[in-house]
Structure 1
Amino acid sequence: MDNKMERQIQDAYIVAATRTPVARRKGMFRNVRPDDLLAHVLKSVMAQAPGLDPALIGDVIVGCAMPEAEQGMNVARIGVLLAGLPNTVPGITINRFCSSGLQAVADAASQIQLGNADVMIAAGTESMTVMTNMMGNKVVVNPAVFAADEQRGIAFGMGLTAEKVAQQWQIGRDAQDAFAVESHRKACAAIAAGHFKAEISPLAFSEHLPDLKTGELRIRQRLAEDDEGARADVSVDSLGRLKPVFHARGTVTAGNASQMSDGAAAVLLVSEKILKQFNLTPLARFCTYAVAGVPPEIMGIGPVAAIPKALAQVGISQQQLDWIELNEAFAAQALAVMHDLELNPARVNPLGGAIALGHPLGATGAIRTATLVHGLQRSGGRYGMISMCIGTGMGAAGVFERL
């Protein structure tokens, strides 16, 4: 056998992970482009590994759930160039909807594990402000979806799938609202305690504001340092006054669903050779990643299929997970997943989740990776997991080990 084919699987280590603050849709980043958000985190993550030659980067893999308009044109490569990385560094944009950012981390780690690269960047960017609607700028659903009952779930809006889960798992409005309040409480406490400071790279930007009285253009400088979505004034009473959004007699509201958001994140992964060569300190080791399919009309239950699969691949039990980032697409689906898998609530989203902190779709997996690896470092936990449901009926889960 050719010796070139005899390559052993090697470990992939995370040596840096950072993100922007997450903004509400049409919030503080309403005039900031998604490719600029991406360029910012790419520059910031490289700055966290001083001395590492950027020319060694094998590829930059970027998740984006709606890679069109301002985040089209292979936004990964655009971000690489805007960040000032060498022209020799390539970039690819990938899309697995809400798991795009985590998929980018897994794909980057795979390239290192297989020996195809020694340095990789995984990232995600999404501006929901620039979206014309949740299904993209031009929606053309295959007519066959509506012709057969077994395919109709593909066309369901995400909110309607949450209503299906709430109904099938018998999760009432009160439970959903209470879960949402707790998400905000934990997020506000984490922000006040400074727990996100290590993972956030503040973003300075300028806004051009016309003065209608004088006809002059005023430039305002801003610095985004904290997440914008968490609210201390949220209560069960205030959420209880909100009307259902997706079904007249439903239970899913804007208050117990994830926020539409803008944000970006980047994760720097290297091989053991690079760790030693540049004297880098690893934050975590990438362990494994798994995806699984479920019926599209109850897509929120996807983690129930993906999590056991990932745990089996890495050979650990659920009880060994010290930290679980379970993306809160909707309170109903998060509660259903926690119920079916009997997840320990104390270890799920200890700093709050997407209901409070936001969900910039394709960026969320990379954002939550930054939260997880820094959280494990701070808490001293060993194993952590990131999991989420995915549109059209899928679930994803990734496992990481603190070093």
Structure 2
Amino acid sequence: MSGAAYVVGAVRSPVGRRGGGLAGVHPADLGARVLRALVERTGAPAEAVDDVVWGCVGQVGPQASNIGRTTVLSAGWPESVPAMTVDRQCGSSQQALHLAAQAVLSGTQDLVVAGGVEVMSQVPIGSPTLVGVEAGMPHPRGGTGWAERYGAQEVSQFRGAELIAERWGLGRAAMEAHAVESHRRARAAIEAGDLADEVVPVAGVTADEGPRPDATPERLAGLTPLRAGGRITAALASQISDGAAAVLVASEDAVTRHGLTPSPGSTR
């Protein structure tokens, strides 16, 4: 094993909208499609994968019980390939990549897959908390230590976004201009075929469904803020989406042994 880590493959599903073309695909099947495509495109043998590190926030229902492991088995990979699921909220899959790279850099593993899945059409945001509370379980932030430190104040992404905008003087018009430009660039990239190499079709969906052709400054300006007097509207929040992605991280030895091709600039 070596002290270098290379990204030798990356693939993702299209990103579907809530209730869109991927809404009915089981999360394990969605992730499995990505895993199969990853080894097909790189030529790496699935049985040589030392570990799969899978990010997922909504670990309840179809995404519970170690969705990483369920995904590996659903992909038809050998039962000898282990997997774990990590939750660092919105940074879960990024954390999965860090852990994969660290395992390779440390010399303890040669070939590690990092990725994740989220099918928010089936597992809405906040589901683990809501399902637990509805079943009579205590709230995650219902302990004495939390109350002593933070009291009963609201803790949410929406309030956090408002506080950030206020702290750094981000006006609604400026944020909406950024959002409109983001949609324009995403649509342009899709139309130009810039994303085709990284996307594998799933359930008949071939391109991201999120970018809106009707995103205009006038349309966004007419939306009602999430809270009275606030700056954040639905157009300034991350979309409710369905998707999966995976990358393959390899040591120098694994690159040579399996004839893999590092992505440009991926050496670490």
Which amino acid letter does the alignment assign opposite residue 28 of structure 1? G
1:133 positional shift: 4.3
Higher strand share: 1
Q: Distance in 2 between matches of 1:133 and 1:28?
A: 19
Q: How does 1:288-299 map to 2 (within 5 A)?
A: none
Contact 1:145 1:152 in 2 (8 A): no
Equivalent position of 2:33 in the other structure: 40
SS of 2:225's equivalent in the other structure is coil
Aligned to 2:165: 166
Runs (4+) off by over 3 Å: 144-153
Aligned residues: 259
Partner SS, residue 129 of structure 1: coil
**Identical aligned pairs, as a percentage?**
37
Letter in 2 for 1:40: R
**Cα-Cα RMSD:** 1.8
What SS class does the counterpart of residue 3 from structure 2 fall into? coil
Alignment match of 2:252 (pick from 260, 264, 272): 272
Match of 1:250 among 230, 233, 239: 230
Calculate the TM-score normalised by the size of structure 2: 0.91
Shift of 1:73: 1.1
Q: For each residue in 1:188-216, what CA deviation from the matched residue of structure 2 results, as whole angstroms up to 9, or x when unmatched?
A: 1111111110100111x3xxxxxxxxxxx
Superposed CA deviations along residues 253-306 of structure 1, whole A, max 9, x for unmatched, are 01121101010001011111111122221004254xxxxxxxxxxxxxxxxxxx
Give the equivalent residue in structure 2 for 1:13: 6
Cα deviations across residues 50-90 of structure 1 (Å, max 9, x unaligned)?
2x322211111100011111111111111111101111101
Whole-Å separation in 2 of the counterparts to 1:147 and 1:93 = 29
For the 8 Å contact 2:60–2:127, the answer to whether it is kept is no
Structure 2 letter corresponding to 1:228: E
- Amino acid in the other structure paired with 1:26: G
Secondary structure at 2:39 match in 1: helix
- Correspondence for 1:366: none
Match of 1:111 in 2: 103
Equivalent positions of 1:316-335 (< 5 A) are none
In the alignment, what sits opposite 1:185? Answer: 184
Asked if the contact 2:58/2:125 (under 8 Å) is kept, the reply is no
Q: Please give the TM-score of this superposition, normalised by the length of structure 1.
A: 0.61
Any gaps of 5 or more consecutive residues in structure 2?
Answer: 134-138
Q: Is the 8 A contact 1:145 1:151 kept in 2?
A: no
Mark the CA change 1:80 to 1:254 in structure 2 (over 3 Å): closer, same or farther. Answer: same
Q: Name the structure, 1 or 2, with higher relative contact order (CA <8 Å, separation 6+).
A: 2
Cα distance in 1 for partners of 2:213, 2:141 equals 43
CA contact (8 A) 1:34 1:71 kept: yes
From 56, 79, 82, the equivalent of 1:87 is 79
Query: Does the CA contact (< 8 Å) of 1:61 and 1:93 recur in 2?
Result: yes
CA gap of 1:152–1:164, structure 2 versus 1, over 3 A, is farther
1:109–1:286 contact (8 Å) kept in structure 2: no
Map 1:183-262 → 2, pairs under 5 A: 183-203=182-202, 205=203, 223-245=204-226, 247-262=227-242
Unaligned runs of 5+ in 1: 1-6, 206-222, 288-403
Distance 1:66 1:75, change over 3 A: same
